[in-house]
Every structure is written in structure tokens, then in C-alpha cells.
Amino acid sequence: MAAFEVIALDTATPQLRAPGASDTYSVPRAIAFSSTVTPATNTVDSVGYTGMPGNSQSAAYTTVAADAGKTILHPDTDNNARTFTIDSNANVAYPVGTVITFVNMINTVTIAITSDTMYLAGAGTTGSRTLAAYGVATAIKVTSTSWIISGNGLT
């Protein structure tokens, strides 16, 4: 992809010229110009995910730092009630804005939290939540020690 050289930006009609060309092109003032940005590192955190990676769990599970932005899946091959626990800020200091999604394919999953506080969206009640089969719930960290959770099949 060829870049254009900006010839005149502070005029009523900005002018562009392709590298090595003599012709200039007028562009409408409404077009926003920006530089090409190349991240210093090409990590997942610098650009986000284009999908939602999963972490399948068939036993009681406590979240870890690597679960941020991921799905914790209770698979349909494990027909047992399970408890998935969001660890405390003291143990795993997720940044505010961290999202963890829980998907339950069979039986029930209790979504618990250790010493931090988890609020049910809308109601504002606190404590562990039960996720029914085929339920999906997302927890969002809103302060250093509080989360809000919402979803379908969540009580």
C-alpha cells in the first residue's frame, strides 16, 4: 500500500502527492489524517483478541491472571456441578476493566468470588451466582476489589 505525502494541510483544500509523482490530489477537509502506528510489541494485550480464547475446566477452578479476556468453559462431557472462583485482588491483581466470561454446557456452575465483592447486574445483590446449563455470564472488574456479573441463565 502506497503512502501519500501531505503537501498542504493547513489550507481549505488539503493536497496530497504520491511518492515520486508530480501530480497532487485535493481531498475534502472532512477526511481525518493520521500516522501509521506500529505497536512496540505485537502482543495480545496491545491489540486485543479477535476471538475469545477458551479455558475448559472439568473440576473446581480458581481464575488466574491468564484468564483475563477469556472464556472459562464447563464442557458437556462433565455432568457434575462445579464451582469456578474469581480470585481476590490480593492474589491476582487484574486491571480494572478485565472481563472474564463463563460458559456452562451441562449441570450447574457456581460462580464465586473470594474476598472481593461481586454484584449481580441490575439487582446489586452480592455473593456467589449459579449458572444454569447452556448459560453464559460475563464478569467485569469495575474497581480494584469489585466485579459486576450478568448473563443468561444466571441467578
Report the pLDDT value the prediction gives residue 37, as an integer from 0 to 100. Answer: 41
**DSSP string for residues in the chain:** ----EEEE-SSSS-EEE-TT----EE--TTSPP------SS--HHHH--SS--EEE-SS-EE--GGGTT-EEEE-TT--S-EEEEEPPTTT--PPTT-EEEEEE-SS-EEEEESSSEEEETTT--BS-EEEEEEEEEEEEEEETTEEEEEEEEE-
Q: For residue 90, name the pLDDT band (cuts at 50, 70, 90).
A: very high
Instruction: Indicate whether 136 pLDDT > 90.
Output: yes
Report the pLDDT value the prediction gives residue 51, as an integer from 0 to 100. Answer: 79
Q: For residue 125, name the pLDDT band (cuts at 50, 70, 90).
A: very high
User: Over the chain, what is the mean pLDDT?
Assistant: 83
Higher pLDDT, 151 or 50: 151
Report the pLDDT value the prediction gives residue 52, as an integer from 0 to 100. Answer: 85
Tell me the percentage of the chain whose pLDDT exceeds 70.
Answer: 68
pTM: 0.70
**Domains (ranges, CATH) in the chain?**
1-36 (no CATH), 53-154 (2.60.120.640)
